[in-house]
Amino acid sequence: MCGIAGVMYRGSDATFGTGEALIRMLDGCQHRGPDSTGFALYAPEASGRLKLRFFIDPESETDSDVAIAEIRQRLVDLGAGIEEEARAGDNYRVTILYDGDVQKLSYEMKHAAKVISIGTSLDIVKDVGSAYDVDDRYHVNQFHGTHGLGHVRLATESDVKPEASHPFWATGFADVAIVHNGQITNYWKMRRRLEQREFEFTTDNDSELIAVYLADKLAQGVKLQDALSTSIDDLDGTFSFLVSTGDEIGYAKDRLAAKPMIMYEDDDLVAIASEEVSLNRLFPGKALNTREPAPGTYATWSRSI
């Protein structure tokens, strides 16, 4: 059992307190996943720049300063110009100037360190502990952006560690992230098909598979809404998931509908979560006209109304 949440502010070029909004939503459903918490945060970025975030393992035999120096050198060797860099918690975040192949860059960098996310607008923050624990380490509440996803995790099939936490970035593709509640039972079949086309994975998590599957569709020119439609047929299992790109957010729900999802929408925003209590945290004391997506459905929203 896990909890998912997503929010998009619409119809404006302004940025909003998406970090604080997602903290509130995830705190509302923290009982669904006390082991770890994560955020996929989106904010506009200048053209030609990429944001990369890496996990620096504090238990590694390699000193953290040495590990960061190796990352910096690998980036330079790949033709990237380092613009900004910072340490936060066990993360190293760097903004680079880069006009090359993002897929090649990401595959090369995952051999140098544990890549959490790459994107022009995407930045993923995740770690063990509650929403407020992660906020204390990474100051998520200070983030202002356009939209984002969140996840609270109950570890059932893998260790309680930051790299096993959600959200997952679509390895090899910029700006695609996913949060997922459920299990994909044809995981290895789907993964082998993608690996035969030379796609790479950093984990054995089925959520990463969904992200890469959808990102591949988008790279082929398929609209996100159509990619979500085919995912309901192609993916076996029980699932409710949210996906985000640089300018869209969407959901898909399997036909059995065993995993809960509820949403609220008005002219200013769309918010989706596993439980209504998460939506109520955004509008305390307000009666919301919410609805539960039907089994086997999908939908997308963009920032323009």
> Would you please indicate which residues are annotated as catalytic (active-site) residues?
2
Which residues, listed in sequence order, are joined to residue 178 by a DSSP beta bridge? 168, 243
Burial class (CB in 10 A: 0-12, 13-18, 19+), 221: exposed
Residues with Cβ within 8 Å of residue 16, at least 6 apart in sequence:
9, 144, 145, 146
* CB-based contact 277:262 (threshold 8 Å): no
| Rounded Cα gap, residues 11 and 14, in angstroms | 9
CA distances from 179 to 122, 150, 197, 211 (A): 14, 7, 24, 9
Residue 61 structure tokens? 């035999």
Cα 212 to Cα 217: distance, rounded to the nearest angstrom:
9
Q: Are 123 and 53 in contact (CB under 8 A)?
A: yes
- Which amino acid appears at position 250 of this protein? G
- For the record, the structure tokens of 146 come out as 């356009």
